[in-house]
Amino acid sequence: LGPALSKAGSHLVFEHGGKNLGFTNNFKAFVNKGEGMIVMSNGDNAGEVIREIMIAISEHYGMGTDQRTRIDAVTLSLDEFRAFTGQFKLITDVGYDGDFIIKLSIIDEELKMKSPQDDQLARLVPTDKDIFISTGSGNQFVFNKDDNGEYNDLKVSDQYQFVRIE
Protein backbone atom coordinates (compact mmCIF):
# COMPACT_ATOMS: atom_id res chain seq x y z
CA LEU A 1 0.00 0.00 0.00
CA GLY A 2 2.71 2.45 -0.97
CA PRO A 3 6.15 3.29 0.43
CA ALA A 4 7.60 1.25 3.28
CA LEU A 5 10.84 0.64 5.14
CA SER A 6 12.03 -2.82 6.10
CA LYS A 7 15.23 -4.60 7.10
CA ALA A 8 17.27 -7.22 5.28
CA GLY A 9 19.79 -8.43 7.82
CA SER A 10 21.38 -5.27 9.21
CA HIS A 11 20.49 -3.19 6.13
CA LEU A 12 17.62 -0.73 5.77
CA VAL A 13 15.49 -1.27 2.65
CA PHE A 14 13.13 1.24 1.00
CA GLU A 15 10.18 -0.36 -0.80
CA HIS A 16 7.37 0.88 -2.97
CA GLY A 17 4.79 -1.14 -4.85
CA GLY A 18 2.22 0.21 -7.23
CA LYS A 19 -0.74 -0.77 -9.32
CA ASN A 20 -2.76 1.06 -11.92
CA LEU A 21 -5.12 -0.31 -14.53
CA GLY A 22 -2.98 -2.55 -16.73
CA PHE A 23 0.25 -2.02 -14.75
CA THR A 24 1.80 -3.59 -11.63
CA ASN A 25 5.26 -3.01 -10.14
CA ASN A 26 7.42 -3.39 -7.07
CA PHE A 27 10.67 -1.62 -6.17
CA LYS A 28 13.18 -2.36 -3.39
CA ALA A 29 16.50 -0.64 -2.73
CA PHE A 30 19.08 -0.78 0.03
CA VAL A 31 19.25 2.69 1.56
CA ASN A 32 23.04 2.68 2.10
CA LYS A 33 24.37 0.13 -0.41
CA GLY A 34 23.43 1.49 -3.83
CA GLU A 35 21.73 -1.79 -4.76
CA GLY A 36 18.13 -2.63 -5.49
CA MET A 37 15.63 -4.17 -7.87
CA ILE A 38 12.55 -3.12 -9.79
CA VAL A 39 10.09 -5.54 -11.35
CA MET A 40 7.40 -4.11 -13.62
CA SER A 41 4.63 -5.69 -15.66
CA ASN A 42 1.97 -4.54 -18.05
CA GLY A 43 -0.67 -6.75 -16.43
CA ASP A 44 -3.28 -6.39 -13.72
CA ASN A 45 -2.72 -9.82 -12.16
CA ALA A 46 1.07 -9.84 -11.95
CA GLY A 47 1.47 -9.58 -8.17
CA GLU A 48 2.28 -13.25 -7.63
CA VAL A 49 4.66 -13.38 -10.61
CA ILE A 50 6.44 -10.22 -9.42
CA ARG A 51 6.81 -11.76 -5.96
CA GLU A 52 8.36 -14.94 -7.40
CA ILE A 53 10.76 -12.91 -9.58
CA MET A 54 11.84 -10.81 -6.57
CA ILE A 55 12.42 -13.97 -4.51
CA ALA A 56 14.58 -15.40 -7.32
CA ILE A 57 16.60 -12.17 -7.65
CA SER A 58 17.06 -11.94 -3.87
CA GLU A 59 18.19 -15.57 -3.64
CA HIS A 60 20.52 -15.33 -6.66
CA TYR A 61 22.29 -12.17 -5.47
CA GLY A 62 22.12 -13.00 -1.75
CA MET A 63 20.17 -9.83 -1.00
CA GLY A 64 18.05 -11.30 1.80
CA THR A 65 15.07 -9.09 0.93
CA ASP A 66 12.59 -11.72 -0.24
CA GLN A 67 12.28 -15.29 0.95
CA ARG A 68 10.03 -18.21 0.23
CA THR A 69 7.36 -18.83 2.84
CA ARG A 70 7.02 -22.40 4.10
CA ILE A 71 3.42 -23.14 4.97
CA ASP A 72 2.67 -25.96 7.42
CA ALA A 73 -1.06 -26.29 6.83
CA VAL A 74 -3.65 -27.65 9.23
CA THR A 75 -6.98 -29.12 8.18
CA LEU A 76 -10.20 -27.22 8.85
CA SER A 77 -13.73 -28.38 8.10
CA LEU A 78 -16.04 -26.40 5.83
CA ASP A 79 -18.00 -25.31 8.92
CA GLU A 80 -14.79 -23.98 10.46
CA PHE A 81 -13.94 -22.15 7.20
CA ARG A 82 -17.41 -20.53 7.16
CA ALA A 83 -16.61 -18.66 10.40
CA PHE A 84 -14.08 -16.57 8.44
CA THR A 85 -16.16 -15.70 5.35
CA GLY A 86 -17.54 -12.21 4.77
CA GLN A 87 -16.34 -8.71 4.04
CA PHE A 88 -13.69 -6.97 6.12
CA LYS A 89 -12.86 -3.26 6.02
CA LEU A 90 -9.38 -1.86 6.64
CA ILE A 91 -9.43 0.55 9.59
CA THR A 92 -5.68 1.21 9.77
CA ASP A 93 -4.96 4.59 8.18
CA VAL A 94 -2.69 3.95 5.21
CA GLY A 95 -3.76 6.90 3.07
CA TYR A 96 -5.99 4.78 0.83
CA ASP A 97 -8.61 6.87 -0.98
CA GLY A 98 -11.99 5.34 -0.10
CA ASP A 99 -12.81 2.11 1.71
CA PHE A 100 -10.42 -0.81 1.29
CA ILE A 101 -12.62 -3.89 1.64
CA ILE A 102 -11.58 -7.52 1.21
CA LYS A 103 -14.04 -10.35 0.66
CA LEU A 104 -13.40 -13.85 2.00
CA SER A 105 -15.30 -16.76 0.41
CA ILE A 106 -15.16 -20.53 0.27
CA ILE A 107 -14.43 -21.74 -3.26
CA ASP A 108 -13.59 -25.38 -4.02
CA GLU A 109 -13.41 -26.09 -0.26
CA GLU A 110 -10.69 -23.45 0.23
CA LEU A 111 -10.80 -19.97 1.79
CA LYS A 112 -10.18 -17.38 -0.95
CA MET A 113 -9.69 -13.62 -0.69
CA LYS A 114 -10.67 -10.93 -3.18
CA SER A 115 -9.03 -7.56 -2.58
CA PRO A 116 -9.81 -4.29 -4.39
CA GLN A 117 -6.51 -4.08 -6.26
CA ASP A 118 -6.45 -7.67 -7.55
CA ASP A 119 -8.66 -9.36 -10.12
CA GLN A 120 -7.26 -12.73 -9.09
CA LEU A 121 -8.33 -14.51 -5.89
CA ALA A 122 -5.68 -15.34 -3.28
CA ARG A 123 -5.82 -18.61 -1.38
CA LEU A 124 -5.59 -18.40 2.41
CA VAL A 125 -4.12 -21.57 3.94
CA PRO A 126 -4.79 -22.30 7.63
CA THR A 127 -1.71 -22.81 9.80
CA ASP A 128 -3.74 -22.84 13.04
CA LYS A 129 -7.44 -22.66 13.94
CA ASP A 130 -7.52 -18.87 13.38
CA ILE A 131 -4.27 -18.09 11.53
CA PHE A 132 -3.87 -18.20 7.75
CA ILE A 133 -1.09 -17.50 5.23
CA SER A 134 -1.78 -16.03 1.78
CA THR A 135 -0.20 -18.18 -0.92
CA GLY A 136 0.00 -15.07 -3.12
CA SER A 137 1.70 -12.58 -0.82
CA GLY A 138 2.97 -14.70 2.07
CA ASN A 139 1.17 -12.34 4.46
CA GLN A 140 -0.18 -13.72 7.72
CA PHE A 141 -3.88 -13.27 8.52
CA VAL A 142 -4.77 -13.55 12.24
CA PHE A 143 -8.45 -13.62 13.22
CA ASN A 144 -9.62 -12.75 16.74
CA LYS A 145 -12.97 -13.50 18.33
CA ASP A 146 -15.13 -10.75 19.77
CA ASP A 147 -17.12 -10.97 23.04
CA ASN A 148 -19.80 -13.00 21.21
CA GLY A 149 -17.31 -15.60 20.00
CA GLU A 150 -17.44 -14.39 16.37
CA TYR A 151 -14.38 -13.75 14.20
CA ASN A 152 -15.04 -10.05 13.53
CA ASP A 153 -11.48 -8.78 13.93
CA LEU A 154 -8.61 -9.44 11.51
CA LYS A 155 -4.97 -8.35 11.56
CA VAL A 156 -2.81 -8.77 8.45
CA SER A 157 1.00 -8.88 8.62
CA ASP A 158 0.79 -7.79 12.27
CA GLN A 159 0.08 -4.19 11.18
CA TYR A 160 -3.13 -3.80 9.14
CA GLN A 161 -6.34 -3.95 11.19
CA PHE A 162 -9.64 -5.01 9.58
CA VAL A 163 -13.17 -5.32 10.99
CA ARG A 164 -16.04 -7.39 9.64
CA ILE A 165 -18.72 -5.30 7.91
CA GLU A 166 -20.76 -8.15 6.45
SS (H, E, C) 9-53: CCEEEEEEEEEECCEEEEEEEECCCCCEEEEEECCCCCHHHHHHH
Domain that residue 15 falls in: 3-61
Residue 1's pLDDT is 52
Judge if 53 and 84 occupy the same domain: no
Of the three residues 27, 61, 95, the one that is the final residue of a domain is 61
Residue 68's pLDDT is 79
Residue 111's pLDDT is 97
The alpha-helical segments, DSSP class H, found in 35-133 are: 47-61, 78-82
C-beta atoms surrounding 108 within 10 Å = 6
Judged against a pLDDT cut of 70, whether residue 54 lies above it is answered with: yes
Judge if 110 and 84 occupy the same domain: yes
> C-alpha 89: how far from its chain's center?
15
- Is there a domain that residue 69 lies in? no
Q: How confident is the model at residue 29 (pLDDT cuts 50, 70, 90)?
A: very high
Judge if 103 and 29 occupy the same domain: no
Of the three residues 16, 35, 61, the one that is the final residue of a domain is 61
Judge if 87 and 152 occupy the same domain: yes
* pLDDT one-digit tens code per residue, 65-96: 888 778 899 999 999 999 999 999 999 988 77
- Is there a domain that residue 17 lies in? yes
Judged against a pLDDT cut of 80, whether residue 2 lies above it is answered with: no
